[in-house]
Structure 1
Amino acid sequence: MLGEAFAVLAAILWAGSMVVAAKTLRDVGPVRANAFKTLFSAATMLPIAFLMGEFQNLFYLDFYGSLYVIIAAIIGFGVGDTLLFRSISLIGVSRSYTIGYSYPFFAIALATVFLGEPFLLRYVFGAVIIFFGIVNIFLERNVAFEKSNTKGFLIAFAAAISWSIGTALVALGLRTINIIQANTIRFPLLFIFLFIISILRPSESRLNKENLSLLLLSGILGMTIGGIVFLFSIELIGVARATPLSSSSPLWAAIMSSFYLKEKITWRVIMSSIMVAFGTYFLF
Structure 2
Amino acid sequence: MTNGLGELCSILSALAWAIGVMLYRQLGATLPPLQLNFLKNALVLAMLLPAIPLLHGLSLPAFDGLQILAAVGSGLLGIGIADTLYFRALNELGAGRMGVIGNFYSPFVIVLSFAFLDERLLPVQGVGFALVSLGVWLAAWPRQGSAPRPAHVLRGFFFALLAIVLMAISIVLVKRVLEAQPLLWVTGLRMLGALVGMAAIAWLRGETAQLSPPKVGMPWRKLALAAFVGQFLAMVLWLAGYKYTQASVAAILNETASVFILLLAWAWLKEPLTRRALAGVGLTLGGVCCMLAVR
Q: Aligning the two structures, in what range does the TM-score lie when normalised by the shorter sequence?
A: 0.7 to 0.9
CA drift at 1:252: 1.1
Code of the aligned partner of 1:233: G
Matched, 1:186 2:190: yes
Is contact 2:13-2:235 (8 Å) kept? yes
Percentage of identical aligned residues: 20
> Which secondary structure does the structure 1 equivalent of 2:180 belong to?
coil
Counterpart of 2:65 in structure 1 is 63
Counterpart of 1:94 in structure 2 is 96
* 34-43 or 200-209, which deviates more: 200-209
CA drift at 1:248: 0.8
2:50 to 40, 43, 47: 47
CA drift at 1:13: 0.8
* 121-130 or 23-32, which deviates more: 121-130
Counterpart of 1:197 in structure 2 is 201
Counterpart of 2:108 in structure 1 is 106
For residues 47 and 228 of structure 1, the distance between their equivalents in structure 2, rounded to whole angstroms, comes to 14
Distance 1:258 1:234, change over 3 A: same
For residues 55 and 282 of structure 1, the distance between their equivalents in structure 2, rounded to whole angstroms, comes to 41
CA drift at 1:211: 2.5
Q: Mark the runs of 5 or more structure 2 residues left unpaired by the alignment.
A: none
Distance 1:139 1:41, change over 3 A: closer
| 1:93-143 residue CA offsets vs partner (Å, 9 max, x unmatched) | 122134224301111111122111232222322222344346556686545
Counterpart of 2:128 in structure 1 is 126
Matched, 1:245 2:261: no
For residues 264 and 215 of structure 2, the distance between their equivalents in structure 1, rounded to whole angstroms, comes to 23
Counterpart of 1:151 in structure 2 is 155
Code of the aligned partner of 2:237: V
* 28-37 or 201-210, which deviates more: 201-210
For residues 44 and 252 of structure 1, the distance between their equivalents in structure 2, rounded to whole angstroms, comes to 25
For residues 95 and 177 of structure 1, the distance between their equivalents in structure 2, rounded to whole angstroms, comes to 36
* TM-score of the aligned structures, taking structure 2 as reference length: 0.83
CA drift at 1:230: 2.4
For residues 182 and 234 of structure 1, the distance between their equivalents in structure 2, rounded to whole angstroms, comes to 12
Q: What root-mean-square deviation, in Å, do the aligned CA atoms of Structure 1 and Structure 2 show?
A: 2.8
Counterpart of 2:37 in structure 1 is 34
1:9 to 12, 25, 37: 12
Counterpart of 2:82 in structure 1 is 80
CA drift at 1:76: 1.5
* TM-score of the aligned structures, taking structure 1 as reference length: 0.86
> Which secondary structure does the structure 1 equivalent of 2:219 belong to?
helix
Counterpart of 1:230 in structure 2 is 238
Runs of 4 or more off by more than 6 Å in structure 1? none
Is contact 1:134-1:272 (8 Å) kept? yes
Code of the aligned partner of 2:249: R
How many residues were matched structurally? Answer: 282
Distance 1:163 1:276, change over 3 A: farther
Q: Mark the runs of 5 or more structure 1 residues left unpaired by the alignment.
A: none
| 1:36-67 residue CA offsets vs partner (Å, 9 max, x unmatched) | 11101111111011212444405x42221121
Matched, 1:161 2:140: no
